[in-house]
């Protein structure tokens, strides 16, 4: 089967500074792919290249059969790339319900609803529908950000450090939710992380990044190799 998403030798610059150096990465359909790396190695830059927020200076990105050239972020969202940004970026003054409804923007009228399974994955969202996003705990906001991305009916779900600053019990819920999306919904998932144990538990394939480059790729069990760990040690 063709890759769901593939990044082919991409470079990315911020002014004169090169953040990504010839990154290549493939997400297999219906699998969880994790990109690991320390602070500042280019994980978020890679995801922002996929969502179209940042422009490439070389290489290309293919989504299914389509090459994404200068396709703007809103079109990529409509095509089926769901994005959960680092730090969650929920709307603090909107209610939980309104935050979820922002996911309607790219949907046909008949699809403008919140699928019930989202509330089954994250029951707290249902019980807090009328509360402001900003009143939720960090972990609840993360669940809301994932829920909002799921409302857009993504084919590929892209998450930027979903466990960052979140308490262990909610990390478990998020891990279970991602496994459910893969196993029951056939969703393709790409996440970037610094939390090794989380990735070892739920990921199928891993990529290890260091200073703008991919240093290693393999199955999640490779996280135990000394050569891999040396790139992740602080």
Ligand X SMILES: Nc1ncnc2c1ncn2[C@@H]1O[C@H](COP(=O)(O)OP(=O)(O)OP(=O)(O)O)[C@@H](O)[C@H]1O
Q: How far is the CB of 18 from ligand X (least distance, A)?
A: 9
Considering only residues 60-99, where is the footprint of Mg ion by CB under 5 A? 86
Contact yes or no for 80/154 (Cβ under 8 A): yes
CB nearer to Mg ion: give 4 or 36.
36
Q: How far is the CB of 28 from ligand X (least distance, A)?
A: 23
Report the C-alpha gap between 26 and 203 in whole angstroms.
14
Other beta carbons less than 10 A from residue 22's beta carbon: 14
Which x/- pattern over 38-57 shows residues binding Mg ion (rule: CB under 5 A)?
-----xx-------------
CB nearer to Mg ion: give 31 or 43.
43
Other beta carbons less than 10 A from residue 35's beta carbon: 25
Report the C-alpha gap between 87 and 5 in whole angstroms.
24
CB nearer to ligand X: give 40 or 123.
40
Q: How far is the CB of 207 from ligand X (least distance, A)?
A: 12
Q: What is the dihedral of CA 67, 22, 45, 80, to 10 degrees?
A: 20
Q: How far is the CB of 42 from ligand X (least distance, A)?
A: 4
Tell me the H-state helices in 6-110.
Answer: 43-51, 73-79, 96-101
Report the C-alpha gap between 141 and 43 in whole angstroms.
21
Q: Return the beta strands (E) in the chain as ranges.
A: 5-14, 17-27, 32-36, 58-63, 66-68, 81-84, 156-160, 188-193, 205-210, 213-219
Per CB under 6 A, residues contacting ligand X are 14, 17, 19, 37, 39-45, 86
Q: How far is the CB of 79 from ligand X (least distance, A)?
A: 23
CB nearer to ligand X: give 161 or 205.
161
- The interface partner of residue 39, options being ligand X, Mg ion, none and the CB cut-off 5 to 8 Å by kind, is ligand X
CB nearer to ligand X: give 3 or 53.
53
Question: Where on the chain is the footprint of Mg ion (CB under 5 A)?
Answer: 43-44, 86
């Amino acid at each position: 089967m063709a890759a769901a998403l593939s990044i082919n030798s991409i470079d990315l610059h911020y002014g004169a500074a090169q953040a990504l150096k010839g990154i290549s990465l493939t997400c297999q359909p219906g699998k969880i792919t994790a990109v690991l790396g320390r602070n500042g190695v280019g994980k978020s830059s890679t995801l922002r290249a996929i969502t179209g927020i940042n422009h490439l200076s070389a290489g290309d990105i293919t989504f299914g059969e389509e090459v994404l050239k200068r396709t703007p972020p809103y079109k990529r969202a409509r095509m089926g790339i769901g994005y959960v940004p680092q730090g969650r970026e929920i709307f603090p003054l909107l209610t939980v319900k309104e935050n979820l409804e922002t996911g309607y923007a790219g949907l046909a009228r008949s699809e403008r609803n919140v699928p019930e399974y989202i509330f089954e994955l994250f029951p707290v969202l249902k019980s807090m529908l009328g509360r402001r996003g900003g009143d939720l705990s960090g972990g609840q906001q993360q669940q809301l950000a994932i829920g909002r991305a799921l409302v857009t009916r993504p084919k590929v779900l892209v998450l930027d450090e979903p466990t960052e600053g979140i308490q262990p019990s909610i990390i478990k819920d998020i891990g279970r939710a991602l496994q459910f999306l893969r196993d029951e919904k056939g969703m393709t998932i790409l996440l970037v992380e610094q939390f090794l144990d989380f990735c070892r538990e739920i990921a199928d394939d891993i990529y290890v990044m260091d200073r703008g480059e991919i240093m290693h790729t393999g199955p999640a069990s490779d996280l135990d190799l000394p050569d891999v760990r040396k790139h992740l040690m602080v």
